[in-house]
Amino acid sequence: MFETVVGLDVPDEEAGRLAQRGLSWLVAEGIVLPESSYDADGTYEGPVYPRGPAWGARITDDLRYGDTYGDLMVVTGRTVFHVPPEENERPVCPRCSTAVEGTGSEGLFAVVEAWMATGVGDVRCAACGGVSRVPEWRWEHDSFAFSSLGFTFWNAPPLRAGFREELSRVLDIPTCVVRGKL
Ligand SMILES: [Zn+2]
């Protein structure tokens, strides 16, 4: 399985700096090693770092596999982080917290492509009429997140409750987790 800790509302120009800050902390804590084992290419969306000596102890409560599996990929640049969505999963308006029915998701996805290309994309909420930028929208089950920063724990044991908050504090931004099976 994989879990991505996604930075929310990260300006494009801040993504590289925040990625470096998060990575420096993860290395200092012994969670990953500093030298990337794979760099971004057609296969990887970002550089991949091998797990460090404290990987299992720091990220998971599942000690059966904690130390033996997984590595970290750091993704920067506008990305649709996603897993197969729950049936009829609805986008949630960041202004009125309504899960938008009907064409809400199509309305949003019509704009996502433009946001990916240009960084600009506004979506009007069918419930309150408020306009929000693409990366501000959430989903009922966190099956999607639109952002310029993500830390993907590949093949990793389940992240401990609280680890995301810890990383969030280091980055000093809110985060969410998109998790799924490989
Ligand atoms: Zn709304």
Alpha carbon of 139 to ligand 1 centroid (Å): 13
Q: Kindly state whether residues 17 and 105 are assigned to the same domain.
A: no
For residues 101 and 52, membership in a common domain is answered with no
The CA 76 to ligand 1 mean position distance, Å, reads 28
Query: Could you tell me the distance, in angstroms and rounded to a whole number, from the CA of residue 49 to the centre of ligand 1?
Result: 39
For 57, what's the count of Cα atoms within 13 Å in the CB-facing half-sphere?
6
Structurally, the chain folds into a number of domains equal to 2
Q: Are residues 62 and 124 in the same domain?
A: no
Tokens of 129: 């009429």
Amino acid, single-letter form, for residue 32: V
Are 6 and 51 contained in the same domain?
Answer: yes
Give me the tens of pLDDT residue by residue for the chain, a chain 182 residues long: 899 999 998 999 999 999 999 999 999 999 999 999 988 888 888 999 999 999 999 999 987 877 888 999 999 999 999 988 777 788 999 999 999 876 566 778 889 999 999 999 999 998 999 999 999 999 998 889 999 999 999 999 999 989 999 999 999 999 999 998 76
Residues 96 and 167 in one domain: no
Query: Cα(158) to centroid of ligand 1, in Å?
Result: 33
Same domain, 167 and 117: no
Written as six digits, the tokens of 9 are: 């509302």
Give residue 135's domain range. 91-139
Three-class SS of 66-135: CCCCCEEEEEEEEEEEECCCCCCCCEECCCCCCECCCCHHHHHHHHHHHHHHHCCCEEECCCCCCEEEHH
Q: Are residues 6 and 61 in the same domain?
A: yes
Helix, strand, or coil (residue 5): strand
Asked if 134 and 123 touch (Cβ cutoff 8 Å), the reply is yes
Measured CA distances, 126 to 66, 100, 160 (Å): 44, 7, 36
77 and 100, same structural domain?
no
pTM of the model: 0.91
Rounded to 5 degrees, what angle do the CA atoms 15, 149, 106 make? Answer: 125
